[in-house]
A and B are shown apart, each in its own frame.
Chain A
């Protein structure tokens, strides 16, 4: 968390009062809450009334996807169109709707850079659009950093009257987000999370256009436009707002700083034999033209290492004090081969040897130095260890 958010959080925790209460303590709390709401709205180019505070990205995604589906679901609207490579919150929510609520899911495939294929999306949307309940896609992919053609996809969907939800959790703070603009193109709902921008875990927002109806997940006090019942998290909202303002104010400078750091990291890692970058290639790396819309998040790098198992690399780096990600881990803690890489056409073997190195507000050249001091050796060792499913046969006795 950024220090400003920590300070705001702690200070507000001393506050007494439920913002829904009518007495003066409640009114004071309400005031702080609504000020925070305005500041978060401003950071997203949205109207205050469009901000619904949630417990985070997962809730926001569930509220939007299930909420839009249920609001639109009569017998004729059972199709949900979702891009490949979405976050598990989207994938699992949709899978549940398929299993339990008679939904049918259709996927917009990704290209080799991890971007949704617009032409295929156009085809899917135009085929019997009245049977589509909603479409949902990432603004930027959290694993491989590919920035999606948001306006393009939203415009196509809107042409056919299909509501659009955008998962902006990974994009927030790294690319400018103006809800006003994307709403005009056709976006109805947009999810963000505070802890991705230096705010606390436990709070996020669903930006919901005024005219858009969702069936709520929680029923109770009817707070937040009847959309999200429950006592509102004032301290969380205030900390969220502090982080949001800072993230937006620093966005331009941080973009320059982080993209330079990112590009340096990419160049140095690619010098390791067997390494391969996943996702869009930044211009400064190739010096060649690449599709204009295939930009990459400034904070994201993702590589595969041939012949290595991700968990071997993670252990070796962890032992050296460097925390990295292999992608998502299942509940048991086993690293899983990335479904995003598979959607981009990589093999399962390639997907097993992947690592994501993310950068953020506290990242410096020293961090990249520390990584590069350890990574080449770790890759060598991991290559020796190979894959867990390799055959290790016992030797036969001498006699």
Chain B
């Protein structure tokens, strides 16, 4: 229970469904703010009190568990390390993968609980043979199955998402108001919970420090300078501060971040086209496909709010470690290493990989009719 309306209503529905529910608020920071400032960030003391109030109303016990140390190591430090390595991390995926459905879940199971229930908008569908599948929420616009794409079968077996069938956020707020929750009108939190003012670049600069480097084109010509390559993301257009326009007058985009030389490579939009995505840190939700080394059709989603695109995926054992290689039917523009590529079959989440590398060239032929 974060103190937000989604988790409060999720808890309420779990109680109504007859489950034995305990509300837990995660303390993820050792120095939480006292009051929530606007709608950014999360987990201030005010949020804790909002969550407690909701739990009190539901008549369920409420506790605060301190995972701040684990969070710092697994999410925050990882965030800094990834940016420093020239990649663009997704801390919410890491938090789900390592904290909410790992550290928290393990502690809960050890203490005798059966599952962790959250306010995520997603659906769990149990097949005829008893296997559980993760699906998109009924309402496409609110679907959060993407950030749950990191879940393994074991984690899914101990998860509950009561909000998956809700048509809209407005419905959840209405239900919260009906139930008497004061937080029914509380704004949603955006951005990264540990960067409450939304200034990721500034936050990173404070921790990684400024390091002047070059902005170059694909041929290696120096076009300008920057204060730290870690602040740039593949596909980024703003904030390049090059000064002189390109020869053809077309806008320039970040094509590559090279941390070793502290260099940022820029170029025209066409060069952002990605025909292949690969990653060695991949997981399956639910079962492993029967023969993942044979290419299979799927839908690929590379951002939480991006539209899925048709693709073909396969596990390749060509290199020293197996990789999940995903080839979109049409090239995608601006795919940043470090992000998660989540693959679906229909509304069912198959699995995901953290993107290690992208390529403009596909290594697999598209099957006919794809």
Binding site for B on A (CB under 8 A): 311-312, 314-316, 318-319, 331-335, 381-382, 384-386, 388-390, 392, 394-395, 397-399
Whether the Cβ atoms of A315 and B102 lie closer than 8 Å is: no
Most buried by B among A311, A381, A392: A392
Select the stretch in B61-69, B114-122, B354-362 that faces chain A. Answer: B61-69
- Shortest Cβ distance from B109 into A: residue: A385
Interface-facing stretch out of B81-89, B215-223, B282-290, B300-308? B282-290
Per a CB cutoff under 8 Å, which of B66, B98, B112, B288 touches A388?
A: B66
For B32, list chain A residues within 8 Å (CB): 332
* Nearest CB in chain A to that of B34: its residue: A331
Q: How many residues of B contact A (CB 8 A)?
A: 38
Of chain B, the residue at the smallest CB distance from A389 is B69
B residues 120-164 with Cβ under 8 Å of A?
Answer: 152, 154
Contact B103 A388 (CB under 8 A): yes
Q: Which residues of B contact A384 (CB under 8 A)?
A: 110
Q: Is B214 an interface residue (CB 8 A)?
A: no
Any A CB within 8 A of the CB of B205: no
CB atoms of B107 and A312 under 8 A apart? yes
CB neighbours of B102 from chain A (8 A) = 392, 394
Interface set of B (CB-CB < 8 Å, partner A): 22, 25, 27, 32, 34, 45, 48, 52, 61-67, 69-70, 73, 97-98, 102-103, 106-107, 110-112, 152, 154, 282-284, 288, 292-293, 315, 322, 351
Query: Which chain B positions have C-beta within 8 A of A395?
Result: 152, 154
- A397's contact among B66, B97, B98, B288, by CB below 8 Å, is which? B288
> Can you list 17 A-B pairs with a CB-CB distance of less than 8 A?
A311-B63, A311-B65, A312-B110, A312-B111, A316-B111, A332-B32, A332-B48, A332-B64, A333-B62, A333-B63, A333-B64, A334-B27, A381-B110, A385-B106, A385-B111, A394-B283, A399-B322
CB of B366, distance to nearest CB on chain A (Å): 23
Q: How far in angstroms is the closest Cβ of chain A from B292? A: 6
Q: Is the interface of B mostly helix, strand, loop or mixed?
A: mixed
Q: How far is the CB of B66 from chain A (nearest CB, A)?
A: 5
- Tell me if A388 and B97 are in contact (CB < 8 A): no
Residues of A contacting B73 with CB < 8 Å? 389
In the assembled complex, the Cα of A390 lies from the Cα of B105 at a distance in Å of 13
If A314-B63, A334-B65, A388-B70 are given as contacts, then 9 extra A-B residue pairs at C-beta distance below 8 Å, sorted by A number, are A311-B66, A312-B107, A333-B27, A333-B62, A333-B63, A334-B27, A388-B103, A397-B283, A399-B293
Closest to A335 in B: B66
For B283, list chain A residues within 8 Å (CB): 394, 397
Given A311-B66, A385-B110, also A333-B48 (CB < 8 A): yes
Residues of A within 8 A of B25 (CB): 332-333
A386-B110 CB under 8 A given contacts A315-B22, A398-B288 = yes
The CA-CA distance from A390 to B67 in the complex, in Å, is 10
Q: A384-B110, A385-B110, A388-B69 are in contact. Are A397 and B282 (CB under 8 A)?
A: yes
Other-chain contact of B292, A318, A394, A399 (Cβ < 8 Å): A399
Are B64's CB and A334's CB within 8 A? yes
Q: How far is the CB of A319 from chain B (nearest CB, A)?
A: 7
How far apart are A141's CB and chain B's nearest CB, in angstroms?
24
Q: How far is the CB of B178 from chain A (nearest CB, A)?
A: 27
Q: Which residues of A contact B63 (CB under 8 A)?
A: 311, 314-315, 333
Q: With the chains together, A315 CA to B67 CA distance in Å? A: 16
Task: Give, as a whole number of angstroms, the nearest-CB distance from B71 to chain A.
Answer: 9
CA distance A201 to B208 in the complex (A): 50
CA distance A247 to B107 in the complex (A): 43
Query: Is B52 a contact of A333 with CB atoms below 8 Å?
Result: yes
CB distance from B32 to the nearest CB of A (A): 6
A315 to chain B, nearest CB (A): 6
Interchain nearest-CB distance for A330 vs B (Å): 9
Q: Is the CB of A388 within 8 A of B107?
A: yes
Contacts of B293 in A (CB 8 A): 399
